[in-house]
Amino acid sequence: MRVTQSLLGKSFLTRSLDELKRRSSIAWNLEAVKGPNGPRPLYEFNDSECVRDCILMSDDLIGGSSKSHLDHINSPPTTTASSTSTSSPPSSYARFHGSISTALPSDRLKIKRTGYAAFRTPNQTPTLFGKSVWDIDPYIYLALRIKSDGRSYFVNVQTEGVEPTDLHQHRLFAKRPGQWETVLIKWNDFVRTNYGFVVEPQTEILRQRVATVGVGLTDRVEGPFELCIERVWATNQPPEVDDAEVEQNGGLKTKKGTKVKW
């Protein structure tokens, strides 16, 4: 028990020291005036512990038949000439996979809808400065390094807001299914939802109080799915930005049934 307490204490102090260094760097480099010096890492799926700590969800929690898994994958090093390509696989990442079923549980008549799966980053652990959250206020984009199968995934952002069941959501539009790519989403483009429906009044993300980031699949199309993800971060200078954004149906609806477009 003493060893466990010692490790926990060291971990707490290490996290606190890291946060102190981050805040000191912001002050020393006048980032509040000049803007951040570079991207801010939010979560990396680079080892089994980071993947294991994530929260996995599916409709099997309410008796549904969908299955979801989140595995840590070590990729062998690439030795071909294309190893430096933006589509080359990372050395380690998380694989979110499983199968979607819309079958309703026979023993729970109140359940009228199934067919979803999701995961999110773990709750952030506290430091000497209090409860940990991400302050992404200085940044324009959320960036995700992914390889998608082309299905209709959503990015879910949870904040320390008034309504704990609120999410801010945006479609994860993959442009090269089957290949590794960096997807960029403007923080201001996220839509506030509650239990899957767009709610009014719309409010912007509490940019200084971001708690978790996750990915969900709610298209209710039966069959297997697979999404690989390496990391997520906040940035102002994304490596890949399209010159024009095409307005697309996002899949979200208001309670009146109106589709939301981005």
Tell me how many degrees the CA angle 188-193-195 measures, rounded to the nearest 5: 155
Residue-level pLDDT at 131: 79
73 vs 200, more confident: 73
CA 97/CA 88 separation, integer angstroms: 20
In the numeric block, the tokens 């912007």 are attached to 204
CB 157 within 8 Å of CB 210: yes
pTM, two decimals, is: 0.79
Per-residue pLDDT reduced to its tens digit, 241-262: 443 344 455 566 655 556 666 5
Residue-level pLDDT at 88: 84
Distance from chain centroid for Cα 50: 13
pLDDT band, residue 3 (cuts 50/70/90): very low
pLDDT band, residue 36 (cuts 50/70/90): confident
DSSP labels for 100-158?
E--PPPTT-TT------EEEEPPPPPPBTTBS--B--TT-SEEEEEEEE-S--EEEEEE
Residue-level pLDDT at 243: 39
Instruction: Check whether the bond before 239 is cis (ω within 30° of 0).
Output: no
The CB-side HSE value for 57 (13 A sphere, CA atoms) comes to 16
> Which segment of 47-51, 114-118, 170-174, 251-255 scores lowest on mean pLDDT?
251-255
Per-residue pLDDT reduced to its tens digit, 56-114: 999 999 999 999 999 999 987 665 554 455 678 899 999 999 999 999 998 888 888 99
Which H helix or E strand runs over 226?
Answer: strand 223-235
Residue-level pLDDT at 79: 57
Classify domain 40-77+87-238 at the CATH topology level: Jelly Rolls (2.60.120)
5 vs 149, more confident: 149
Residue-level pLDDT at 201: 85
Per-residue pLDDT reduced to its tens digit, 119-165: 999 998 876 756 789 999 999 999 999 999 999 999 999 999 878 88
Domain ranges of the chain: 40-77+87-238
Per-residue pLDDT reduced to its tens digit, 204-245: 899 999 999 999 999 999 999 999 999 999 999 866 544 334
